[in-house]
Amino acid sequence: MSPIETVDLLVTGARQLVTLRGEGEPSPRAGRGMSELGIIRDGAFAAKDGRIVRVGSTEEVSRQVRLAPGGEAVDASGRVVTPGFVDAHTHAVFEGSRPQEFEARLQGSSYQEIAAQGGGIRSSVRAFRAATTEQLKETALERLDRMLELGSTTVEIKSGYGLSLDDELRALEVARELDGAHPVDVIPTFLGAHEIPEEFASRRDEYVALVAEEMVPEVSRRELALFCDVFCEEGVFTVEESERVLVSAKRHGLGLKIHAEEFTRSGGAALAARLGATSAEHLLEVNEDDIAAMREAGVVAVLLPGVSFSLGLSKYAPARTMIEMGLPVALATDCNPGSSMTESMQMIVTLACVEMRMTAAEALAASTSNAAFAVGLGMECGSLEAGKRADALVLNMEDYRELPYHYGVSNVQHVIKNGRLVVRSGLRVRS
Ligand code: NIG
Ligand code: FE
Protein backbone atom coordinates (compact mmCIF):
# COMPACT_ATOMS: atom_id res chain seq x y z
CA MET A 1 0.00 0.00 0.00
CA SER A 2 1.40 3.38 -0.91
CA PRO A 3 1.29 5.92 1.95
CA ILE A 4 -1.43 8.52 2.11
CA GLU A 5 -0.34 11.63 0.25
CA THR A 6 -1.15 15.16 1.38
CA VAL A 7 -2.51 17.20 -1.53
CA ASP A 8 -3.66 20.77 -2.02
CA LEU A 9 -6.43 20.20 -4.57
CA LEU A 10 -9.00 17.43 -4.64
CA VAL A 11 -11.69 17.15 -7.32
CA THR A 12 -14.26 14.41 -6.66
CA GLY A 13 -17.52 12.96 -7.87
CA ALA A 14 -17.21 13.62 -11.59
CA ARG A 15 -19.91 11.77 -13.46
CA GLN A 16 -17.41 11.53 -16.33
CA LEU A 17 -13.75 12.26 -15.68
CA VAL A 18 -12.38 12.57 -19.22
CA THR A 19 -8.70 11.77 -18.67
CA LEU A 20 -7.36 11.36 -22.23
CA ARG A 21 -4.64 9.27 -20.63
CA GLY A 22 -2.11 7.96 -23.10
CA GLU A 23 -1.48 4.33 -23.85
CA GLY A 24 2.29 4.15 -23.80
CA GLU A 25 3.73 6.23 -26.62
CA PRO A 26 4.13 9.94 -25.92
CA SER A 27 2.63 10.90 -29.25
CA PRO A 28 -0.49 12.65 -30.48
CA ARG A 29 -3.63 10.62 -31.06
CA ALA A 30 -4.48 9.51 -34.57
CA GLY A 31 -7.27 7.58 -36.25
CA ARG A 32 -9.44 5.65 -33.84
CA GLY A 33 -7.18 6.70 -30.99
CA MET A 34 -8.78 10.14 -31.22
CA SER A 35 -12.01 8.65 -29.89
CA GLU A 36 -10.48 7.00 -26.84
CA LEU A 37 -11.09 9.44 -24.04
CA GLY A 38 -10.20 7.26 -21.04
CA ILE A 39 -13.38 8.17 -19.16
CA ILE A 40 -13.62 7.30 -15.47
CA ARG A 41 -17.16 7.19 -14.03
CA ASP A 42 -17.48 8.81 -10.61
CA GLY A 43 -13.94 10.03 -11.16
CA ALA A 44 -11.57 12.12 -9.09
CA PHE A 45 -8.10 13.57 -9.24
CA ALA A 46 -5.76 15.17 -6.75
CA ALA A 47 -2.95 17.67 -7.23
CA LYS A 48 -0.02 18.97 -5.30
CA ASP A 49 2.14 21.99 -6.11
CA GLY A 50 0.35 22.43 -9.43
CA ARG A 51 0.82 18.86 -10.67
CA ILE A 52 -1.59 15.95 -10.77
CA VAL A 53 -0.61 13.21 -8.31
CA ARG A 54 -3.57 10.80 -8.35
CA VAL A 55 -6.32 10.00 -10.84
CA GLY A 56 -8.99 7.34 -10.40
CA SER A 57 -12.43 6.68 -9.02
CA THR A 58 -13.60 8.96 -6.22
CA GLU A 59 -13.45 6.02 -3.86
CA GLU A 60 -9.83 5.16 -4.79
CA VAL A 61 -8.47 8.68 -4.80
CA SER A 62 -10.23 9.60 -1.54
CA ARG A 63 -8.53 6.64 0.11
CA GLN A 64 -5.10 7.58 -1.22
CA VAL A 65 -4.92 11.26 -0.32
CA ARG A 66 -5.58 13.75 2.44
CA LEU A 67 -6.40 17.37 1.68
CA ALA A 68 -3.99 19.77 3.36
CA PRO A 69 -5.52 22.42 5.64
CA GLY A 70 -6.50 25.34 3.42
CA GLY A 71 -6.50 23.05 0.36
CA GLU A 72 -9.20 23.30 -2.29
CA ALA A 73 -11.96 20.69 -2.48
CA VAL A 74 -13.99 20.81 -5.68
CA ASP A 75 -17.24 18.91 -5.77
CA ALA A 76 -17.86 17.92 -9.38
CA SER A 77 -20.88 15.74 -8.59
CA GLY A 78 -22.98 14.96 -11.61
CA ARG A 79 -20.71 16.93 -13.93
CA VAL A 80 -18.08 16.34 -16.58
CA VAL A 81 -14.41 17.05 -15.85
CA THR A 82 -11.93 17.41 -18.74
CA PRO A 83 -8.39 18.66 -19.26
CA GLY A 84 -8.20 22.43 -19.87
CA PHE A 85 -8.33 23.42 -23.54
CA VAL A 86 -5.03 24.12 -25.27
CA ASP A 87 -5.62 26.82 -27.89
CA ALA A 88 -2.78 25.95 -30.25
CA HIS A 89 -3.03 28.84 -32.73
CA THR A 90 -3.85 32.45 -31.89
CA HIS A 91 -2.73 35.94 -32.79
CA ALA A 92 -3.94 37.25 -29.42
CA VAL A 93 -1.58 40.24 -29.13
CA PHE A 94 -3.22 42.82 -31.37
CA GLU A 95 -4.81 46.23 -31.20
CA GLY A 96 -8.08 47.42 -32.68
CA SER A 97 -10.72 45.52 -34.57
CA ARG A 98 -11.91 45.16 -38.18
CA PRO A 99 -15.72 44.82 -38.17
CA GLN A 100 -15.95 46.88 -41.37
CA GLU A 101 -14.07 44.09 -43.19
CA PHE A 102 -16.45 41.51 -41.76
CA GLU A 103 -19.33 43.56 -43.14
CA ALA A 104 -17.62 44.07 -46.52
CA ARG A 105 -17.25 40.29 -46.81
CA LEU A 106 -20.94 39.82 -46.13
CA GLN A 107 -21.50 42.15 -49.07
CA GLY A 108 -19.32 40.08 -51.35
CA SER A 109 -15.64 41.12 -50.93
CA SER A 110 -13.14 38.36 -50.24
CA TYR A 111 -10.48 38.24 -47.50
CA GLN A 112 -7.78 38.45 -50.19
CA GLU A 113 -9.39 41.42 -51.98
CA ILE A 114 -9.61 43.35 -48.72
CA ALA A 115 -5.95 42.56 -48.01
CA ALA A 116 -4.91 43.66 -51.52
CA GLN A 117 -6.63 47.01 -50.93
CA GLY A 118 -4.47 47.74 -47.86
CA GLY A 119 -6.88 46.33 -45.28
CA GLY A 120 -6.36 42.95 -43.67
CA ILE A 121 -3.18 42.25 -41.74
CA ARG A 122 -1.62 45.55 -42.81
CA SER A 123 -4.38 47.55 -41.14
CA SER A 124 -3.76 45.68 -37.88
CA VAL A 125 -0.03 46.40 -38.33
CA ARG A 126 -0.78 50.14 -38.39
CA ALA A 127 -2.86 49.82 -35.20
CA PHE A 128 -0.19 47.71 -33.49
CA ARG A 129 2.63 50.11 -34.30
CA ALA A 130 0.60 53.07 -33.00
CA ALA A 131 -0.17 51.36 -29.68
CA THR A 132 1.98 51.63 -26.57
CA THR A 133 3.34 48.44 -25.07
CA GLU A 134 1.19 49.01 -21.99
CA GLN A 135 -1.92 49.27 -24.14
CA LEU A 136 -1.03 46.07 -26.01
CA LYS A 137 -0.52 44.27 -22.75
CA GLU A 138 -3.73 45.52 -21.22
CA THR A 139 -5.97 44.49 -24.13
CA ALA A 140 -4.23 41.11 -24.40
CA LEU A 141 -4.72 40.49 -20.67
CA GLU A 142 -8.44 41.11 -21.04
CA ARG A 143 -8.47 38.70 -23.96
CA LEU A 144 -6.63 36.06 -21.91
CA ASP A 145 -9.19 36.50 -19.13
CA ARG A 146 -11.95 35.72 -21.60
CA MET A 147 -10.03 32.72 -22.92
CA LEU A 148 -9.52 31.37 -19.42
CA GLU A 149 -13.18 31.89 -18.48
CA LEU A 150 -14.09 29.95 -21.62
CA GLY A 151 -11.77 27.10 -20.62
CA SER A 152 -8.40 27.64 -22.31
CA THR A 153 -5.56 27.02 -19.86
CA THR A 154 -2.68 27.09 -22.39
CA VAL A 155 -2.60 29.46 -25.36
CA GLU A 156 -0.11 29.77 -28.20
CA ILE A 157 0.35 33.40 -29.30
CA LYS A 158 1.99 34.50 -32.54
CA SER A 159 3.62 37.84 -33.19
CA GLY A 160 3.10 39.18 -36.72
CA TYR A 161 1.42 42.57 -36.44
CA GLY A 162 4.72 44.38 -35.84
CA LEU A 163 6.67 43.42 -38.98
CA SER A 164 9.76 45.43 -38.03
CA LEU A 165 12.52 44.10 -35.80
CA ASP A 166 11.57 46.35 -32.90
CA ASP A 167 7.84 45.80 -33.19
CA GLU A 168 8.15 42.04 -33.53
CA LEU A 169 10.38 41.95 -30.45
CA ARG A 170 7.80 44.11 -28.69
CA ALA A 171 5.00 41.65 -29.51
CA LEU A 172 7.03 38.72 -28.18
CA GLU A 173 8.03 40.65 -25.07
CA VAL A 174 4.35 41.35 -24.42
CA ALA A 175 3.64 37.62 -24.84
CA ARG A 176 6.36 36.84 -22.30
CA GLU A 177 4.97 39.38 -19.84
CA LEU A 178 1.48 37.94 -20.27
CA ASP A 179 2.82 34.50 -19.42
CA GLY A 180 4.20 35.86 -16.14
CA ALA A 181 1.22 38.06 -15.31
CA HIS A 182 -1.66 35.71 -16.10
CA PRO A 183 -2.54 32.15 -15.03
CA VAL A 184 -2.79 30.99 -18.67
CA ASP A 185 0.48 29.50 -19.97
CA VAL A 186 1.53 31.35 -23.11
CA ILE A 187 3.54 29.63 -25.86
CA PRO A 188 5.23 32.33 -27.98
CA THR A 189 5.64 31.95 -31.74
CA PHE A 190 7.56 34.34 -33.98
CA LEU A 191 5.57 35.19 -37.12
CA GLY A 192 7.58 38.00 -38.68
CA ALA A 193 6.62 36.47 -42.04
CA HIS A 194 2.92 37.17 -41.61
CA GLU A 195 2.72 39.75 -44.41
CA ILE A 196 5.07 42.02 -46.38
CA PRO A 197 4.86 45.37 -44.56
CA GLU A 198 3.87 48.43 -46.63
CA GLU A 199 7.34 49.98 -46.56
CA PHE A 200 8.78 46.83 -48.17
CA ALA A 201 6.02 46.43 -50.77
CA SER A 202 8.41 46.86 -53.68
CA ARG A 203 11.35 45.14 -51.95
CA ARG A 204 9.97 41.82 -50.81
CA ASP A 205 13.32 40.02 -51.06
CA GLU A 206 14.78 42.47 -48.62
CA TYR A 207 11.98 41.82 -46.17
CA VAL A 208 12.41 38.04 -46.40
CA ALA A 209 16.14 38.51 -45.81
CA LEU A 210 15.41 40.76 -42.83
CA VAL A 211 13.14 38.14 -41.27
CA ALA A 212 15.43 35.19 -41.97
CA GLU A 213 18.83 36.78 -41.31
CA GLU A 214 18.11 39.42 -38.67
CA MET A 215 14.83 38.87 -36.90
CA VAL A 216 15.10 35.10 -36.43
CA PRO A 217 18.61 35.24 -34.91
CA GLU A 218 17.64 38.08 -32.59
CA VAL A 219 14.43 36.38 -31.44
CA SER A 220 16.40 33.22 -30.82
CA ARG A 221 19.25 35.04 -29.02
CA ARG A 222 16.77 36.68 -26.66
CA GLU A 223 14.86 33.41 -26.21
CA LEU A 224 11.60 35.14 -27.01
CA ALA A 225 9.91 32.36 -28.99
CA LEU A 226 9.66 28.58 -29.01
CA PHE A 227 8.37 28.40 -32.58
CA CYS A 228 8.66 30.22 -35.89
CA ASP A 229 5.69 30.36 -38.25
CA VAL A 230 5.21 31.68 -41.82
CA PHE A 231 2.03 32.61 -43.74
CA CYS A 232 2.72 30.56 -46.88
CA GLU A 233 0.03 31.58 -49.34
CA GLU A 234 -0.47 32.96 -52.83
CA GLY A 235 0.00 36.73 -52.56
CA VAL A 236 1.78 36.47 -49.21
CA PHE A 237 4.94 34.28 -48.91
CA THR A 238 5.93 31.71 -51.53
CA VAL A 239 7.18 28.24 -50.64
CA GLU A 240 10.77 29.33 -51.42
CA GLU A 241 10.48 32.39 -49.17
CA SER A 242 8.81 30.36 -46.43
CA GLU A 243 11.57 27.78 -46.65
CA ARG A 244 14.26 30.42 -46.30
CA VAL A 245 12.68 31.72 -43.08
CA LEU A 246 11.97 28.29 -41.62
CA VAL A 247 15.40 26.87 -42.44
CA SER A 248 16.96 29.80 -40.62
CA ALA A 249 14.57 29.26 -37.69
CA LYS A 250 15.51 25.60 -37.50
CA ARG A 251 19.19 26.48 -37.53
CA HIS A 252 18.55 28.85 -34.62
CA GLY A 253 16.81 26.20 -32.55
CA LEU A 254 13.19 27.21 -33.04
CA GLY A 255 10.39 24.70 -33.62
CA LEU A 256 8.54 25.10 -36.91
CA LYS A 257 4.93 25.91 -37.76
CA ILE A 258 3.36 27.02 -40.99
CA HIS A 259 0.09 28.59 -42.17
CA ALA A 260 -0.46 26.32 -45.17
CA GLU A 261 -3.04 25.72 -47.92
CA GLU A 262 -5.51 28.19 -46.42
CA PHE A 263 -6.93 29.69 -49.63
CA THR A 264 -4.89 27.96 -52.33
CA ARG A 265 -2.84 24.78 -52.49
CA SER A 266 0.56 26.42 -52.55
CA GLY A 267 2.84 23.70 -51.18
CA GLY A 268 3.13 24.67 -47.51
CA ALA A 269 2.01 21.28 -46.20
CA ALA A 270 4.68 19.46 -48.22
CA LEU A 271 7.22 21.98 -46.96
CA ALA A 272 6.13 21.31 -43.36
CA ALA A 273 6.70 17.59 -43.95
CA ARG A 274 10.06 18.16 -45.64
CA LEU A 275 11.38 20.35 -42.82
CA GLY A 276 9.90 18.27 -39.99
CA ALA A 277 7.61 21.00 -38.70
CA THR A 278 5.78 20.44 -35.43
CA SER A 279 2.50 21.54 -37.02
CA ALA A 280 0.85 22.84 -40.16
CA GLU A 281 -2.26 24.96 -39.79
CA HIS A 282 -5.45 25.81 -41.73
CA LEU A 283 -5.03 23.14 -44.50
CA LEU A 284 -8.37 23.67 -46.28
CA GLU A 285 -6.85 22.90 -49.66
CA VAL A 286 -4.65 19.87 -48.87
CA ASN A 287 -4.86 16.70 -50.94
CA GLU A 288 -4.20 13.12 -49.90
CA ASP A 289 -0.51 13.28 -50.84
CA ASP A 290 -0.08 16.23 -48.48
CA ILE A 291 -1.91 14.38 -45.71
CA ALA A 292 0.25 11.26 -46.16
CA ALA A 293 3.45 13.34 -46.23
CA MET A 294 2.52 15.13 -43.02
CA ARG A 295 1.58 11.88 -41.33
CA GLU A 296 4.92 10.27 -42.28
CA ALA A 297 6.84 13.30 -41.00
CA GLY A 298 4.97 13.48 -37.68
CA VAL A 299 3.38 16.87 -38.37
CA VAL A 300 0.21 17.70 -36.40
CA ALA A 301 -2.62 19.27 -38.43
CA VAL A 302 -4.05 22.27 -36.59
CA LEU A 303 -7.51 23.00 -37.98
CA LEU A 304 -9.21 26.36 -37.55
CA PRO A 305 -12.89 26.05 -38.48
CA GLY A 306 -13.60 29.49 -36.98
CA VAL A 307 -11.88 30.98 -40.04
CA SER A 308 -14.16 29.31 -42.60
CA PHE A 309 -17.14 30.21 -40.43
CA SER A 310 -16.20 33.84 -39.87
CA LEU A 311 -15.12 34.40 -43.49
CA GLY A 312 -18.36 32.79 -44.65
CA LEU A 313 -16.54 30.16 -46.72
CA SER A 314 -18.38 27.00 -47.61
CA LYS A 315 -15.16 25.01 -47.47
CA TYR A 316 -13.62 23.52 -44.32
CA ALA A 317 -10.46 21.45 -43.87
CA PRO A 318 -10.99 17.74 -44.66
CA ALA A 319 -10.84 16.53 -41.07
CA ARG A 320 -12.53 13.20 -41.76
CA THR A 321 -10.02 12.24 -44.45
CA MET A 322 -7.17 13.27 -42.16
CA ILE A 323 -8.49 11.16 -39.30
CA GLU A 324 -9.16 8.20 -41.58
CA MET A 325 -5.64 8.46 -42.99
CA GLY A 326 -4.13 8.57 -39.49
CA LEU A 327 -2.97 12.19 -39.38
CA PRO A 328 -3.30 13.62 -35.85
CA VAL A 329 -5.72 16.55 -35.82
CA ALA A 330 -5.76 19.44 -33.35
CA LEU A 331 -8.15 22.39 -33.15
CA ALA A 332 -7.63 26.06 -32.32
CA THR A 333 -9.48 29.38 -32.43
CA ASP A 334 -6.99 31.36 -34.58
CA CYS A 335 -8.21 34.30 -32.42
CA ASN A 336 -7.33 37.35 -34.55
CA PRO A 337 -9.07 40.55 -35.66
CA GLY A 338 -9.31 39.58 -39.33
CA SER A 339 -10.40 36.04 -39.91
CA SER A 340 -11.63 34.65 -36.58
CA MET A 341 -12.57 37.03 -33.80
CA THR A 342 -13.28 34.55 -31.04
CA GLU A 343 -11.71 33.43 -27.78
CA SER A 344 -13.97 30.41 -27.50
CA MET A 345 -12.64 26.88 -27.94
CA GLN A 346 -16.17 25.71 -27.11
CA MET A 347 -17.44 27.39 -30.28
CA ILE A 348 -14.61 25.76 -32.24
CA VAL A 349 -15.62 22.33 -30.94
CA THR A 350 -19.17 22.94 -32.16
CA LEU A 351 -17.94 24.04 -35.59
CA ALA A 352 -15.57 21.08 -35.84
CA CYS A 353 -18.47 18.70 -35.25
CA VAL A 354 -21.12 20.42 -37.36
CA GLU A 355 -18.96 21.54 -40.29
CA MET A 356 -16.12 19.00 -40.35
CA ARG A 357 -18.09 16.01 -39.06
CA MET A 358 -15.75 15.30 -36.19
CA THR A 359 -17.32 13.46 -33.27
CA ALA A 360 -17.51 15.11 -29.86
CA ALA A 361 -14.80 12.71 -28.66
CA GLU A 362 -12.47 13.54 -31.55
CA ALA A 363 -13.04 17.25 -31.11
CA LEU A 364 -12.26 17.01 -27.41
CA ALA A 365 -9.04 15.06 -28.03
CA ALA A 366 -8.12 17.61 -30.73
CA SER A 367 -8.63 20.53 -28.33
CA THR A 368 -6.66 19.11 -25.43
CA SER A 369 -4.14 16.33 -25.85
CA ASN A 370 -3.38 16.73 -29.58
CA ALA A 371 -3.32 20.52 -29.24
CA ALA A 372 -0.73 20.16 -26.47
CA PHE A 373 1.45 18.11 -28.85
CA ALA A 374 0.98 20.81 -31.50
CA VAL A 375 2.67 23.33 -29.20
CA GLY A 376 5.37 20.95 -27.98
CA LEU A 377 3.73 20.34 -24.59
CA GLY A 378 2.35 16.86 -25.12
CA MET A 379 4.16 15.57 -22.06
CA GLU A 380 3.14 18.52 -19.88
CA CYS A 381 -0.55 19.13 -20.34
CA GLY A 382 -3.63 18.18 -22.33
CA SER A 383 -4.59 15.12 -20.28
CA LEU A 384 -5.43 14.28 -16.68
CA GLU A 385 -2.55 12.01 -15.69
CA ALA A 386 -0.15 11.88 -12.77
CA GLY A 387 2.82 14.17 -13.37
CA LYS A 388 1.04 16.57 -15.70
CA ARG A 389 0.00 20.14 -14.96
CA ALA A 390 -3.24 20.20 -13.00
CA ASP A 391 -5.20 22.06 -15.69
CA ALA A 392 -8.85 21.02 -15.74
CA LEU A 393 -12.41 22.13 -16.42
CA VAL A 394 -15.60 21.32 -14.57
CA LEU A 395 -18.27 21.48 -17.26
CA ASN A 396 -21.88 22.18 -16.60
CA MET A 397 -23.13 18.95 -18.19
CA GLU A 398 -23.66 15.28 -17.49
CA ASP A 399 -22.25 13.90 -20.72
CA TYR A 400 -19.25 15.25 -22.66
CA ARG A 401 -21.29 15.01 -25.88
CA GLU A 402 -23.20 18.08 -24.73
CA LEU A 403 -20.09 20.16 -25.44
CA PRO A 404 -20.66 20.68 -29.19
CA TYR A 405 -24.42 20.37 -28.86
CA HIS A 406 -25.12 23.11 -26.33
CA TYR A 407 -23.60 26.03 -28.23
CA GLY A 408 -23.54 29.81 -28.07
CA VAL A 409 -23.15 29.80 -24.28
CA SER A 410 -20.30 28.88 -21.98
CA ASN A 411 -20.60 25.44 -20.48
CA VAL A 412 -17.59 26.01 -18.26
CA GLN A 413 -18.41 26.11 -14.58
CA HIS A 414 -14.97 26.01 -12.94
CA VAL A 415 -11.43 26.23 -14.32
CA ILE A 416 -8.43 24.81 -12.51
CA LYS A 417 -5.01 26.02 -13.64
CA ASN A 418 -1.81 24.60 -12.15
CA GLY A 419 -3.87 23.17 -9.30
CA ARG A 420 -5.66 26.42 -8.42
CA LEU A 421 -9.28 27.34 -8.93
CA VAL A 422 -8.99 30.39 -11.20
CA VAL A 423 -12.58 30.50 -12.49
CA ARG A 424 -15.42 29.72 -10.11
CA SER A 425 -19.02 29.51 -11.36
CA GLY A 426 -17.93 31.08 -14.63
CA LEU A 427 -16.14 34.06 -13.09
CA ARG A 428 -12.45 34.81 -12.71
CA VAL A 429 -11.15 34.39 -9.16
CA ARG A 430 -8.44 36.97 -8.47
CA SER A 431 -5.97 36.07 -5.78
O1 NIG B 1 -4.52 32.78 -39.40
N2 NIG B 1 -3.80 33.56 -42.18
C3 NIG B 1 -3.10 34.44 -41.70
N4 NIG B 1 -3.22 35.01 -40.52
C5 NIG B 1 -4.45 35.05 -39.82
C6 NIG B 1 -5.28 36.24 -40.21
C7 NIG B 1 -4.72 37.46 -39.61
C8 NIG B 1 -5.47 38.70 -39.90
O9 NIG B 1 -6.29 38.77 -40.85
O10 NIG B 1 -5.24 39.67 -39.16
C11 NIG B 1 -5.10 33.70 -39.94
O12 NIG B 1 -6.18 33.56 -40.54
FE1 FE C 1 -3.40 32.34 -38.02
111 CA closest ligand 1 atom index = 9
| Average per-residue pLDDT for the chain | 97
CA of 340 to the centre of ligand 1 (A): 8
Q: How far is CA 196 from CA 18, 113, 251, 279, 372, in A?
A: 44, 16, 23, 23, 30
Looking at the DSSP bridge assignments, the partners of residue 77 are 14
Domains of the chain: 5-83+382-428 (2.30.40.10), 85-374 (3.20.20.140)
CA of 194 to the centre of ligand 2 (A): 9
| 372-380: average pLDDT | 97
Strand 255-260 to strand 227-230: parallel, antiparallel, or no bridges (unpaired)? parallel
At 320-372, the pLDDT tens digits run 999 999 999 999 999 999 999 999 999 999 999 999 999 999 999 999 999 99
Q: Is the pTM of this model over 0.95?
A: yes
pLDDT (0 to 100) of residue 149: 98
Take atom 8 of ligand 1 and give the residue whose Cα is closest: 338
What percent of the chain is modeled with pLDDT above 70?
A: 100
Name the closest ligand to CA 121: 1
CA of 166 to the centre of ligand 1 (A): 21
120 CA closest ligand 1 atom index = 9
Phi-psi domain of 4 (left: phi exceeds 0; alpha: psi -120 through 50; beta: other): beta
CA of 256 to the centre of ligand 2 (A): 14
At 273-312, the pLDDT tens digits run 999 999 999 999 999 999 999 999 999 999 999 999 999 9
- The answer to whether 95 and 128 are in contact (CB under 8 A) is yes
Name the closest ligand to CA 310: 1
CA of 240 to the centre of ligand 2 (A): 20
- Name all residues whose Cβ lies below 6 A of ligand 1: 91, 120-121, 124, 231, 259, 262, 307, 334, 336-339
At 53-98, the pLDDT tens digits run 999 999 999 999 999 999 999 999 999 999 999 999 999 999 999 9
| 127-155: average pLDDT | 98
pLDDT (0 to 100) of residue 37: 98
| 108-127: average pLDDT | 94
pLDDT (0 to 100) of residue 24: 65
Take atom 1 of ligand 1 and give the residue whose Cα is closest: 334
282 CA closest ligand 1 atom index = 1
CA of 151 to the centre of ligand 2 (A): 20
Separation CA 375–CA 241 (nearest Å): 23
CA of 320 to the centre of ligand 2 (A): 22
Phi-psi domain of 419 (left: phi exceeds 0; alpha: psi -120 through 50; beta: other): left
Name the closest ligand to CA 111: 1
Which long-range contacts (C-beta less than 8 Å, at least 24 apart) are formed by 163-167?
Answer: 163/125, 163/192, 163/194, 163/195, 163/197, 164/129, 164/197, 165/210, 165/214, 165/215, 165/218, 167/128, 167/129
Whether 431 shows a pLDDT value over 90: the answer reads no
Whether 133 shows a pLDDT value over 80: the answer reads yes
Name the closest ligand to CA 260: 1
340 CA closest ligand 1 atom index = 12
- Tell me which residue of 161, 158, 287 sits closest to 227, measured CA to CA: 158
pLDDT (0 to 100) of residue 393: 99
262 CA closest ligand 1 atom index = 2
- The answer to whether 257 and 280 are in contact (CB under 8 A) is yes
What percent of the chain is modeled with pLDDT above 90?
A: 97
pLDDT (0 to 100) of residue 430: 87
